């Protein structure tokens, strides 16, 4: 087993706390359970997929008046099929399938690469250290995790967190495509190069792709969905640089502006 560099882990935690905390909207500190009117909670794992209606006109939940039950039912169906899936070897090496979770009418959909060890153990996306940092980024945006949808290109963990293989991506991508079509988000945030390259069908790197909106096509004749690529939280943890964090924050501010959502500012002393 690889040796854990305890000092590095402690330093990373301190660094994580530093950059994405202390943001506020209208004098209110943005924190995980502290954002304005709580919208809805629903997940691919939830027993009741029907969301509560959001009351905030600047909501991160899309079109709260329309029925969400179709989207929720499709997300449940996708999750059920992914859990049964044995199209590639990952279906037998995984502990739990990680279909993704979040609001069926989320206006923002985060897409990562593949589950890691913590996600594999819990069957939930982004719950390890990269997930904790993603939670901080979401909270810095003045949002709650339950207001967005979080998924991955691969629904099962590659052993030893190795990179996804092309055949695995080809087999697994239809699940994500169906989730995107069901949710129909206003913006997809692709976390890292793998997610961005896969969704945009390009060989361009994340440094080239991030920072401006790209277009994700769900099909001929359908309007594209805006896609913002940004650095993966795991990359931020591995390669500490304040500039990289700043880039992610700049990317997220563009997403909030696109959605007409308030952009939190760093409060004094934050
Ligand atoms: N990294 C990912 O890309 N996805 C997860 O769910 C967790 C870590």
Give pLDDT tens digits for 172-199.
999 999 999 999 999 999 999 999 999 9
Q: How much is the pTM?
A: 0.86
| Minimum mean pLDDT range among 43-47, 165-169, 225-229, 252-256 | 43-47
Averaged over 41-56, what is the pLDDT?
42
pLDDT confidence bin for 240, thresholds 50/70/90 = confident
Contact of 90 with 153, CB cutoff 8 Å = no
Q: Residue 8 to residues 116, 133, 240: CA-CA distances in angstroms?
A: 19, 15, 11
Estimate to the nearest angstrom the gap between the alpha carbon of 206 and the chain centroid.
16
Could you give the CA distance from residue 248 to residue 260 in angstroms, rounded to a whole number? 18
User: CB neighbours of 103 closer than 8 A, spacing ≥ 6?
Assistant: 39, 40, 41, 42, 51, 61, 146, 147, 148, 149, 183
pLDDT digits (tens, 9 = 90+) for 127-153: 999 999 999 999 999 999 999 999 999
**Is residue 174 within 8 Å of residue 181, measured between CB atoms?**
no
Q: Where are the domains of the chain?
A: 34-262
Distance 198 CA to ligand 1 centre (A): 15
Q: Please report the atom of ligand 1 found closest to the CA of residue 195.
A: 3
Instruction: List Cβ neighbours of 55 (8 Å cut-off, separation of 6 or more).
Output: 37, 64
* Dihedral angle sign, alpha carbons of residues 228, 123, 32, 12: negative
3-state SS class at 245: helix
Atom of ligand 1 nearest to the CA of 113: 3
> Is residue 193 within 6 Å of ligand 1 at its C-beta?
no
CA–CA separation, 144 and 63 (whole Å): 17
The share of the chain scoring above pLDDT 70, in percent, equals: 81
More confident residue, 115 or 7: 115
Residue 233 Cβ < 6 Å to ligand 1: no
- What are the tokens at 208? 């080239």
Question: How, if at all, do strands 23-25 and 28-29 pair?
Answer: antiparallel
Q: Using pLDDT thresholds of 50, 70 and 90, give the confidence band for residue 48.
A: very low
Mean pLDDT score of the chain, rounded to an integer? 87
Q: Which top CATH class is 34-262? A: alpha beta
How far is the C-alpha of 227 from the C-alpha of 224, rounded, in Å? 9
Question: Whose CA is closest to 91, among 208, 171, 195, 11?
Answer: 171
Q: Residue 112: CB within 6 Å of ligand 1?
A: yes
């Amino acid at each position: 087993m690889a040796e854990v560099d305890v000092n590095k882990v402690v330093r990373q935690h301190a660094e994580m706390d530093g950059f994405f905390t202390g943001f506020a909207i209208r004098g209110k500190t943005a924190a995980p359970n502290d954002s304005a009117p709580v919208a809805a909670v629903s997940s691919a794992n939830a027993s009741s997929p029907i969301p509560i209606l959001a009351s905030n006109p600047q909501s991160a939940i899309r079109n709260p008046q329309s029925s969400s039950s179709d989207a929720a039912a499709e997300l449940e169906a996708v999750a059920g099929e992914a859990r049964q899936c044995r199209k590639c070897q990952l279906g037998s090496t995984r502990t739990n399938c990680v279909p993704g979770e979040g609001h069926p009418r989320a206006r923002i959909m985060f897409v990562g690469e593949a589950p890691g060890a913590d996600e594999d153990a819990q069957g939930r996306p982004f719950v390890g250290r990269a997930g904790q940092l993603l939670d901080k980024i979401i909270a810095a945006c003045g949002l709650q995790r339950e207001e967005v949808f979080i998924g991955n290109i691969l629904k099962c963990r590659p052993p030893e967190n190795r990179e996804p293989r092309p055949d695995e991506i080809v087999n697994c991508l239809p699940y994500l495509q169906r989730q995107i079509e069901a949710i129909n988000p206003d913006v997809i945030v692709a976390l890292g190069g793998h997610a961005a390259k896969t969704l945009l069908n390009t060989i361009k790197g994340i440094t080239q792709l991030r920072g401006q909106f790209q277009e994700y096509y769900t099909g001929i004749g359908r309007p594209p969905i805006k896609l913002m690529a940004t650095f993966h939280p795991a990359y931020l943890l591995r390669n500490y640089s304040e500039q990289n964090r700043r880039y992610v924050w700049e990317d997220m501010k563009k997403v909030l502006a696109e959605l007409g959502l308030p952009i939190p500012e760093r409060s004094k002393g934050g």
